Chains A and B, each alone.
Chain A
Amino acid sequence: MLQDNAAFVTLDGVSHVYGGAGGTLAVEDLSINVNRGEFAAVVGPSGCGKSTLMKLATGLQFPFKGAVRVAGEVVSKPVKIAGMAFQAPTLLPWRTTLENLLLPLEIVEPHRSRLRRHKAEYVERAETLLASVGLRDQGSKYPWELSGGMQQRTSLCRALIHEPDLLMLDEPFGALDAFTREELWCVIRDLHAARRITIVLVTHDLREAVFLADRIFVMSARPGRVLAERVVDIPRPRDLEVTFSPEFGAIVHELREHIVKARQ
């Protein structure tokens, strides 16, 4: 059921404090709207509460002021329809790549109770997913037998295996070299195009944000608020070549000025 242009993730005047009353304010009066099927990016200086945003949107934490809505409902418990990936791949070294992929299915319903009896079906699903990110026939390897880029692809697959409606990415390519990073940009671009899921990407790489996102939010230094919102109107599908176009450069430049202001 796809409804484009309907708000899917909404943060409405959200403030969040760590360490109870009197603690540091992580975000203040933060308002963000992400439509269903949209690719949103959040950029900002480090320590601007981007990770707090991740936790609020997935129901790992709850704001002390304002409201967070995902898929039309106020978030009051873990959302379960979200997949997450981080800068570190956090794969389990005692499980093969394929077994790592099956981990979310051992947790989330309805797969949890079906997994044992329908193992073959799920294994096939995992293998198809691995193939779609260029990891065909790598399922039996252990994570430490894979390169950093391959581990990160696996981590992306793990975030997608239960077919979430929302994908939250927290600097997922931050630890990779430039070439691998651009390769993975294309992987995530293709996944988004094929599945039309809603993606929120937290990053401090402006080129990454402009290349991938439909809409970019620039956050201020702590406590984080939205300073600017920029719609990226470069037509899809986008090729890596687009990153060298003047129009691409202009958007990056514009964002960079916002960030410079935010850091002051």
Chain B
Amino acid sequence: MKTSLAVRLAPWVATIALFVVWEVCCRVFNIPPFFLPPPTLIAKAFVDYWWPLTKHSAFTLSTTLIGFALAVGFGLLLGLAVGWSRAIYAGVYPLMIGFNAIPKVAVVPILALWFGIGFTPAVLTAFLISFFPIVVNVATGLATIEPELEDVLKALGASKLDIMRKVGIPRALPYFFGSLKVAITLAFVGSVISESIASNEGIGNLMLQAQAQFQVPLIFAGLLALAVEGIVMYALMAVLEARMTGWAQRSGFAQC
């Protein structure tokens, strides 16, 4: 289906409009730059501090992606296990919900205690915060197999593994790829939290230092760098989702 010009331009127009309104407000209301710097000042910070921004962004991106990759592997396995057996589901689910309810900020000091500061706690925090939606979605996909279809296959002598392979896993894939979009953004939250608390590197740490030195435009530059990384990774996941499970996205509702 061909997307209309308006739809394709809309995200750019909206983003540019946001920055224009921001700039105009800062000037018209004379907002002090140390309170809310205008986009032009933030752009200047990008130019002035391009190397530290690039270096720390790369660090954050690497911890996020490694934590996310762990979450995908572990979440997929656990989701399949939970969807496979009622007993595993009953045993693991309350634990997982409890674990997910713990604010990850509270876990970072423990991780730092065990693994030292920097890379490892950031990876682990990203992992811990992002695996839950993957598990829940994979398990949901498996749980929604039509009982009639299960009957059709069972009457033919299909084993549980057959049903899982032929129906369960393909059916869970749209849920799985959908959950990746949620998980990748959460992974950024996790790594940045950890960097702000226990790291000498990463965007989280850069922003903390900029705050200590009152370099407000640099704080905002860090925020924007994070936002850009988040959008790019989200878009990658969305493309992956459309590629892998196009059959599940046929409703016109999703396209307009």
- Give the contacts of B143-179 with A (CB-CB under 8 A): 146, 148-149, 151-158, 162, 166-167, 170-171
Q: Is B114 among interface residues, defined by CB-CB distance under 8 A?
A: no
Q: How many residues of B contact A (CB 8 A)?
A: 20
**A88-B148, A93-B248, A144-B250 given; A79·B155 CB < 8 A:** yes
Contact across chains for B151 and A60 when beta carbons are under 8 A apart: yes
Which one of A58, A94, A104 contacts B151 once the chains associate, using CB atoms below 8 Å?
A58
10 contacts between A and B (CB under 8 A): A55-B151, A58-B151, A58-B155, A60-B155, A78-B154, A78-B155, A82-B155, A92-B171, A104-B156, A158-B152
- Give the contacts of B179-218 with A (CB-CB under 8 A): none
- Give the contacts of A39-87 with B (CB-CB under 8 A): 54-55, 58-60, 77-80, 82, 84-86
Q: Is A142 among interface residues, defined by CB-CB distance under 8 A?
A: yes
- Interchain nearest-CB distance for A82 vs B (Å): 5
- Give the contacts of B199-256 with A (CB-CB under 8 A): 245, 247-248, 250
**Chain A, 142-174, contact with B by CB distance < 8 Å: what is the 0/1 string?**
101000000000000011001000001010000
Q: Give complex CA distance A172, B162 in Å.
A: 25
Closest to A168 in B: B155
A144 surroundings in chain B (CB, below 8 A):
250
- Give the contacts of B118-164 with A (CB-CB under 8 A): 146, 148-149, 151-158, 162
Contact across chains for B152 and A92 when beta carbons are under 8 A apart: no
B binding-site residues for A, Cβ under 8 Å? 146, 148-149, 151-158, 162, 166-167, 170-171, 245, 247-248, 250
Apart from A103-B166, A168-B155, list 10 A-B contacts with CB within 8 A: A55-B151, A78-B156, A78-B157, A84-B148, A84-B155, A88-B148, A92-B149, A92-B171, A104-B156, A106-B166
Q: Give complex CA distance A158, B148 in Å.
A: 13
Q: Give the interface centre of B153, B155, B248 by most chain A CB atoms within 10 Å.
A: B155
Q: Give complex CA distance A10, B242 in Å.
A: 50
B166 surroundings in chain A (CB, below 8 A):
92, 103, 106-107
- Interchain nearest-CB distance for B154 vs A (Å): 6
Contact across chains for A159 and B157 when beta carbons are under 8 A apart: no
Contact across chains for A92 and B155 when beta carbons are under 8 A apart: no
Which one of A55, A88, A109 contacts B146 once the chains associate, using CB atoms below 8 Å?
A88
Closest to B153 in A: A107
Q: Give complex CA distance A168, B248 in Å.
A: 30
**Chain A, 94-125, contact with B by CB distance < 8 Å: what is the 0/1 string?**
10000000011011110000000000000000
Contact across chains for B167 and A84 when beta carbons are under 8 A apart: no
Contacts across chains A and B counted by CB atoms under 8 Å: 66
Q: Give complex CA distance A109, B156 in Å.
A: 9
Q: Give complex CA distance A33, B152 in Å.
A: 23
**A92-B167, A94-B247, A103-B166 given; A80·B148 CB < 8 A:** no
Q: Is A90 among interface residues, defined by CB-CB distance under 8 A?
A: yes
Closest 9 CB pairs of A and B: A58-B155, A90-B149, A86-B148, A108-B156, A107-B158, A94-B247, A107-B156, A80-B157, A84-B152
Closest to A155 in B: B152
Which one of B154, B162, B170, B245 contacts A60 once the chains associate, using CB atoms below 8 Å?
B154
Q: Give complex CA distance A211, B155 in Å.
A: 28
B157 surroundings in chain A (CB, below 8 A):
77-78, 80, 107-109
B167 surroundings in chain A (CB, below 8 A):
92
- Interchain nearest-CB distance for A49 vs B (Å): 16
Q: Give complex CA distance A106, B153 in Å.
A: 10
- Interchain nearest-CB distance for B215 vs A (Å): 52
Contact across chains for A59 and B155 when beta carbons are under 8 A apart: yes
B170 surroundings in chain A (CB, below 8 A):
92, 94
A84 surroundings in chain B (CB, below 8 A):
148, 151-152, 155
Closest to B167 in A: A92
B156 surroundings in chain A (CB, below 8 A):
78, 80, 104, 107-108, 162
